[in-house]
Amino acid sequence: ENSVLKTIEYFSLFISIMKTFVIFFLAFAAVALAITDEERLNEIDDYIKQCQTKYGLADEFIEQIGTKHESDIKKAAQFSLCFTTSVGLQTETGDLVMSKIREIIKLFHLDENLAEEVSQRCKPQQNIPA
C-alpha cells in the first residue's frame, strides 16, 4: 500500500512538472507576442515581480524555471501557477483557460491540434488520494 501511494505521489509530481513546463512555454509565448506593446510588457514584468516576491525567489531561480534545472520544483510550480494565473492562462485551481491558449496558438500560427494536446496532457488530475 505504501509503494502504491509513493507511485501515485511520484506520478502526480511528474504531471505537475510537465504541466509547469507546457504552461510556462505558453506564458512566455504570450509575452513574446506582446513585445510591441510596452505597456503590456511592463504589466507582465510586474506579474513576474509580484509572483517572485510572493514566494521569495531570487532572480537566478526565476531564470532556472523551465530549464529542468530548478533547485526547488515545488517553488517553481508555485511561481508558474501565480504567473500563468496572472496572465490568464490558468485559474487559481490550475484549470487551463483554453480560450486564451487557443488565442496564443492561433497568433503564433501553430498547429491547432496543440490546444487539444495541451488540454489532454495538462488537465487537472481527478480522484488521486491526498
HSE of 67, CA atoms in CB hemisphere, 13 A: 10
Q: What is d(CA 33, CA 41) in angstroms, rounded to the nearest whole number?
A: 10
Q: What distance in Å separates the CA atoms of residue 75 and residue 15, rounded to the nearest whole number?
A: 15
Tell me which DSSP letter residue 94 carries. S
Q: Determine what percent of the chain is predicted with pLDDT higher than 70.
A: 61
* pLDDT tens digit sequence for 25-46: 777 766 666 555 566 667 878 9
- Do the Cβ atoms of 24 and 66 come closer than 8 Å? yes
The C-alpha atoms of residue 11 and residue 17 are separated, in whole angstroms, by 10
Reported as a pLDDT band with limits 50, 70 and 90, residue 4 is low
Is the predicted pLDDT of residue 59 greater than 70, yes or no?
Answer: yes
pLDDT confidence bin for 54, thresholds 50/70/90:
very high
Domain boundaries, the chain: 2-122
* N-terminal to C-terminal alpha carbon distance within the chain: 14
Q: Model confidence over 107-126: pLDDT tens digits?
A: 777 788 888 887 777 766 55
| Spatial distance between the Cα atoms of 82 and 64, rounded to a whole number of angstroms | 16
With H, G, I as helix, E, B as strand and everything else as coil, classify residue 96: strand
Does pLDDT of 21 surpass 60? yes
Residue scoring higher pLDDT (60 or 104) = 60
Where residue 92 falls among pLDDT bands split at 50, 70, 90?
Answer: confident
